[in-house]
Chains A and B, each alone.
Chain A
Amino acid sequence: MIAQPTPSGAVQEDADSAALRARLDLLFRKQMTEGHDGWAALQLRRHIEAYRREEQA
């Protein structure tokens, strides 16, 4: 597949988002343990992601 030309800012934003998601995946890797359904951690993760995106913007 040939990549479509995109403004460099958008490419950077995608890279930042991907890096953020990868780091959060790593940080939250122990949430689905026995006895924990992880819903509170999912909310925390959502808030952290929103906060980091606000910082990046």
Chain B
Amino acid sequence: MKLAPEQLVQGIRDLPSLPAVVMDLLSDLDMEQADISVLAKKVSLDPALTAKTLRLANSPAFGLQVKVATIQQAIAFLGVQTMRNLIAAAAVTVCFPAGRCPGFSDRVFWRHASASAACARALARRIRFNQDIAFTAGLLHDIGRLLLATTQPEAYGAVLAWRRAHDCTLLEAERAVLGIDHVDAGVALAAHWQFSDTMRQAIARHHTPDMPAAGMLAAIVHVADAIVHALDLAGDADEVVPPLSGLAWDAMKLNEETYLHLFQETEQQFEEMSAILAA
């Protein structure tokens, strides 16, 4: 049941397109400024995107004291950079129709993605890295899994069955059954959607942060991913912590007390966010 590259590309083409404003946001995540009024106006034209973005902005993870009701208000309270990432996150999640693949739980997927986003953001704050970019990278690092489950549901169902039968990691099962893995799929999707180079690199290297030029974002996502698996938050009966890079772990330079606060913060923030994203 090997998956040919052209099947992967066709699957990507069959996905609903991202709104143009979101494509712009994703390709420019690293840039410092944007035209606030143009951004708010463009997003406000899409009611579903606006509603989901505002629900995310009002979730406890962002700690707003007042509820925001418009994109302009949310930008005023949270800043352009945070809102760009929230809009992109909300938009990406609506592109994948749920429930196609046997054995694949969208709920479990979004719980893991949301917890990884919260954890990556918390890690980034502690090591003085850009929190917003870390949040989006945490959220999207496994987007290749969602792509495969959505566009190749039968084949991906076979991957999940193979994984259960052999008690191996997901990467091993994907390579054995499909000949490619969710990292390859994620990289292909990131290229198609013109994600920024930083984001593409984080998706490409989140299991291999020791590779040359993998970058700090990949290390953050790698550690956040392992932490979230270890906290056992997704509700996956086959949960397993993937191999953890000592180099990436060391790069965080955090002590036990800091980690305990980080675990608590992740647990407190992810639940509501995952409910919003999976809706």
Contacts and interface: CB of A to CB of B under 8 A. Distances in A.
**Best-surrounded residue of A23, A24, A39, A51 (most CB of chain B within 10 A):** A51
B169 interface: yes
Per DSSP, chain B at the interface is helix
Per DSSP, chain A at the interface is helix
Contacts, number: 65
B246 A48 contact: no
**Best-surrounded residue of B169, B232, B243, B259 (most CB of chain A within 10 A):** B243
Contact of A28 (B227, B230, B249, B260): B230
A50 B256 contact: yes
* Tier of interface size on chain B: 20 to 34
Contacts of A38: 243-244
A47 B263 contact: yes
Interface in A1-57: 23-24, 26-31, 33, 35-41, 43-48, 50-51, 54
Given A36-B243, A41-B226, A47-B259, 15 more contacts: A27-B229, A27-B240, A30-B169, A30-B240, A30-B242, A31-B241, A36-B244, A38-B244, A40-B245, A41-B241, A44-B244, A48-B230, A51-B259, A51-B260, A51-B264
Interface of B: 167-169, 226-227, 229-232, 239-246, 248-250, 256, 259-260, 263-264
